[in-house]
Amino acid sequence: MKVAVYNMRPFDEKEWFEVYSAQLGLTLVTCPDAPDLENVKLAEGCPCVDIITSPIDRKLMSAFASCGVQYLVTRTIGYDHIDLEAAREFGIRVGNAPYGPNGVADYAVMLILMSIRKMKRIMQRTNMQDYTLAGIQGRELKDLTVGVIGTGRIGRTVITDLSGFGCRILAYDIHESPEVSGHAQYVPLSRIWKEADVITLHTPLTEENFHLINEETIARMKDGVVIVNTARGGLIDSKALITALEQKKVGAAGLDVVEKEFGLYYYDHKNDILDNRELAVLRSLPNVTVSHHMAFYTDNEVKTVVLDSLRSCKLFMEGKENPWEVA
């Protein structure tokens, strides 16, 4: 049983792919690069392909099908980077490999705290040996209302974590969870826009919620609102966010994800001119913390997604029930 593994990082994933493939009796064909129309032939003879967040469009899906690929698994929770319509057209099943919620939840809380305590400015000053206090006065989380949009595993964990800080928590999801009731109150989005001092996003990206945070919804928010996104970049209209930051409508932002990040993150671009002007502006602002889609990245996550993606492939090839198959 053969699996073609793309985007395999040699410094953290390689040893676990070797360990778990041996345990599962799988043979791997590995590639450190994202799949493209040139290296797709590496997947010939492999019923399954294992990727991360690289975009898989119709052309690439067709090429995989021509190589005999029948199953595509992504080592991520989200799978909006995969053209599911094309997958159905070419008869390729799709799976994901969800990791535990704690890593992203921890990171989201960290970004909230960094934002309300103006940590980016503090660190910049400290690096320049500027030890003055003017302009870096923060707020305490217990005095704030936090709106959590999306109460899946990660959103619920964020709510549980935040409950220890004593803040008021409002929640929104199209599917309400009884686990939330002890710590947060479900409300319509309109109340989150109106009442939240901090808004943190934990929802998948869909056609319905693309640019959920936009010029119109920002206008309905409290002045000085803090926005944190560890979910998907497309949930926020970057241009609208920049305008709101410049006008001080938004007081701060913590962004682990941004629009147009595919092909950018996880690569060394220090000598390149990037085609992402909005990212450059966001990075330049003293009240915006930007990291490169790594909230998930913990030792536990690496082992979990490698193992589960390979287990998913094995179950598919054996024709058994596959809890990781999504389409």
pLDDT tens, position by position, 162-208: 999 999 999 999 999 999 999 999 999 999 999 999 999 999 999 99
C-alpha to C-alpha distance for 57 and 23, rounded to whole angstroms: 32
Residue 323 falls within a domain, yes or no? no
Both 185 and 42 in one domain: the answer is no
Both structure tokens of 74: 């992504």
Number of residues that this document lists for the chain: 327
CB atoms within 10 A of CB 92: 22
Residue 130 lies in a domain: yes
Residue 324 lies in a domain: no
In a domain, 161, yes or no: yes
The reply to whether 211 belongs to the active site is: no
Residues 283 and 305 in one domain: no
* Residues 10 and 112 placed together within one structural domain of the fold: no
Question: Same domain for 115 and 255?
Answer: yes
232 among known catalytic residues? yes
> Mean pLDDT over residues 132-155, rounded?
98
Residue type, 61: M
How many structural domains are present in the chain? Answer: 2
Q: Please check whether residues 74 and 119 belong to one and the same domain.
A: no
Nearest to 1 by CA among 29, 27, 31: 27
Cα atoms in the Cβ-side hemisphere of radius 13 Å centred on 273? 0
- Whether the pLDDT of residue 260 is over 90: the answer is yes
Task: Quote the CA–CA distance of 161 and 218 in Å, as a whole number.
Answer: 26
Ranges of beta strands (E only) in the chain are 2-5, 27-30, 48-51, 71-74, 93-96, 145-149, 168-172, 185-186, 198-201, 225-229, 250-255, 288-290
Res. 249 pLDDT band, cuts 50 70 90? very high
Percent of the chain with pLDDT over 90: 97
Q: State whether 76 and 118 are in the same domain.
A: no
User: Catalytic site residue 293?
Assistant: yes
Taking all residues of the chain, what is their mean pLDDT, rounded to a whole number?
A: 97
- Asked whether residue 58 is assigned to any structural domain, the reply reads yes
The answer to the question of residue 166 being in a domain is yes
pLDDT, average across residues 219-232: 98
Catalytic position from the list 93, 153, 202, 293: 293
Residues 34 and 70 in one domain: yes
9 and 123 both lie in a single domain: no
Per-residue pLDDT at 283 exceeds 90: yes
pLDDT band at 82 (very low <50, low <70, confident <90, very high): very high
For the domain that residue 91 is a member of, what is the CATH number? 3.40.50.720
Summarize pLDDT for 10-64 with one digit per residue, the tens: 999 999 999 999 999 999 999 999 999 999 999 999 999 999 988 999 999 999 9
325 within a domain of the structure (yes/no) = no
Beta carbons within 8 Å of 223's beta carbon, 6+ residues apart:
248, 249, 251
Q: What sign has the CA pseudo-torsion 172, 242, 218, 225?
A: positive
- For residue range 89-135, list pLDDT tens digits in order: 999 999 999 999 999 999 999 999 999 999 999 999 999 999 999 99
Question: Which of 13, 261, 301, 311 does the annotation list as catalytic?
Answer: 261
The active-site residue out of 232, 259, 301, 311 is: 232
Report DSSP letters for 190-202, one per residue: HHHHHH-SEEEE-
Is 109 within 8 Å of 154 (Cβ atoms)?
no
- Whether residues 57 and 117 fall in one domain: no
Instruction: Identify whether residues 129 and 209 lie together within a single domain.
Output: yes
Q: How far apart are CA 262 and CA 47, in angstroms?
A: 25
Task: Flag whether 211 is in a domain.
Answer: yes
The parent domain of residue 151 ranges over 102-290
In which band, very low, low, confident or very high, does the pLDDT at 263 lie, cut at 50, 70 and 90?
Answer: confident
List strand residue ranges (DSSP E) for 32-70, in order: 48-51
pLDDT reported for residue 129: 98
One domain for residues 247 and 215 = yes
Question: Are residue 272 and residue 218 in the same domain, yes or no?
Answer: yes
